[in-house]
Amino acid sequence: MSVPDRGAGHDAALRDVTASRPVNPEGALVLFSGGQDSTACLAWALERFDTVETIGFDYGQRHRIELSQRPVIRDGLGRLKKSWQARLGPDHVLALPSLAAISETSLTRDMAMEATASGLPNTFVPGRNILFLTYAAALGWRRGLQVLVGGMCETDFSGYPDCRNDTIQVLARALSLGLDRPVAIETPLMWLTKAETWALAETLGGQPLVDLIVAETVTCYQGDRTKAHAWGTGCGQCPACELRRKGWEEWHSAKI
């Protein structure tokens, strides 16, 4: 896994996320949207936990085509490794229409994607990750799953405040207190660039996993699966497509 050198702290985080470990006998619940990042996280969890369940959310997103790709990707992951197939548990999809109702954003409205006066892009859905993790923790309580896995990242990202590590870890503490039992939130991509996320996928599942991500995952905010690129399908213009393309190109350049 060839990656740029960004200091000892980054290197330690990279070693941790790629390290081979004994399978954890406990289970994990992965926030799985059907995108590149959550697919990489699902593969990461399947390598590390004995039982892995998935949860997705229908919140009126413009790119809700991602939801229809989730079972396709789950099936594809199961075919890549017998151990993954054995560990992959039930899938859950929760409808959260109220999130779209209260969000005036370009992910939940038919409006142009642009920066706002706050400096954040208007693709930011306030409270989205906080709500997702809270609902996931509630489901995990019923399912006996105390580890949540999410694809949040504050390295190559759009600046969303609910993707920051501080937000996630404070939320984990609040959920642990509120549920009166430990809740851990694992974010394997937190300190990785998009190039390193591609490299992580190759480390976890080789070229077949990379091919699955390219062919089936939906990152595009427009939900466009009609335009094919080397890095996958998408409009090629939205912020999510630009990050994905840039990461792909940097990853390939590092491999040469």
In this predicted structure, the answer to whether residue 133 has a pLDDT above a threshold of 60 is yes
Whether 168 maps to a domain, the answer reads: yes
Q: What percent of the chain is predicted at pLDDT more than 70?
A: 81
Whether the predicted pLDDT of 186 surpasses 70? yes
Q: How many domains does the chain have?
A: 1
Asked whether the predicted pLDDT for residue 137 surpasses 80, the reply is yes
pLDDT for residue 99: 75
245 domain residue, yes or no: no
* pLDDT at residue 73 tops 70: yes
pLDDT of residue 232: 97
Average the pLDDT over 121-140 and give the result: 84
240 within a domain of the structure (yes/no): no
Residues 208/37/114/107 CA torsion (nearest 10 deg):
100
Tens digit of each residue's pLDDT (9 = 90 or more) over 25-65: 889 999 999 999 999 999 999 999 999 999 999 987 877 88
Burial 12-23 (b: 16+ CB within 10 A, else e): ebbeebbeeeee
Predicted structure pTM score: 0.88
Q: In whole angstroms, what separates CA 3 from the centre of its chain?
A: 20
Whether the per-residue pLDDT at 9 is higher than 70: the answer is no
**pLDDT band at 121; cut points 50, 70, 90:** low
Residue 157 pLDDT greater than 80, yes or no: no
Residue 4 has pLDDT above 90, yes or no: no
Annotate 230-244 with DSSP letters as a single string.
Answer: TTEES-S-SHHHHHH
Tell me, rounded to whole angstroms, the distance of Cα 147 from its chain centroid.
15
Q: Could you tell me if residue 238 is inside a domain?
A: no
User: Pairing state of beta strands 232-233 and 88-95?
Assistant: unpaired
Closest CA to 128 of 156, 94, 155: 94
Residue pair 61/101 in contact by the 8 Å Cβ criterion: no
- Residues 82-118 have pLDDT tens digits of 999 999 999 999 998 887 676 766 555 565 555 555 6
Residue 120 belongs to a domain: yes
What gap in Å lies between CA 144 and CA 60, rounded to an integer? 29
What's the mean pLDDT when you consider all of the chain? 87
Identify the H or E element spanning 55: strand 49-58
Residue 125 binned pLDDT confidence (cut-offs 50, 70, 90): low
**CATH number of the structural domain spanning residue 129:** 3.40.50.620
Q: Is residue 230 part of a domain?
A: no
d(C-alpha 254, C-alpha 104), whole Å: 39
Residue 78 lies in a domain: yes
Task: Please answer whether residues 135 and 148 qualify as being in contact, where contact means their C-beta atoms are separated by less than 8 angstroms.
Answer: no
Domain extent for 94: 8-209
| Of 210, 224, 187, 208, residue with least CA distance to 69 | 224
Query: Nearest-CA neighbor of 37 among 122, 183, 160?
Result: 160
**Cβ neighbour number for residue 166 with a 10 Å cutoff:** 9
Query: pLDDT for 188-237, tens place per residue?
Result: 999 999 999 999 999 999 999 999 999 999 999 888 999 999 999 999 99
Between helices 239-255 and 194-216, what is the axis angle to 10°?
A: 110
Contact between 40 and 75 under an 8 Å Cβ cutoff? The reply is no
Token pair of 238, please?
């939205």
- Amino acid type, 87: R
Is residue 2 situated within a structural domain?
no
For residues 46 and 207, what is the distance between their CA atoms, to the nearest angstrom?
17
77-81, 126-130, 140-144, 179-183 — which is least confidently predicted?
126-130
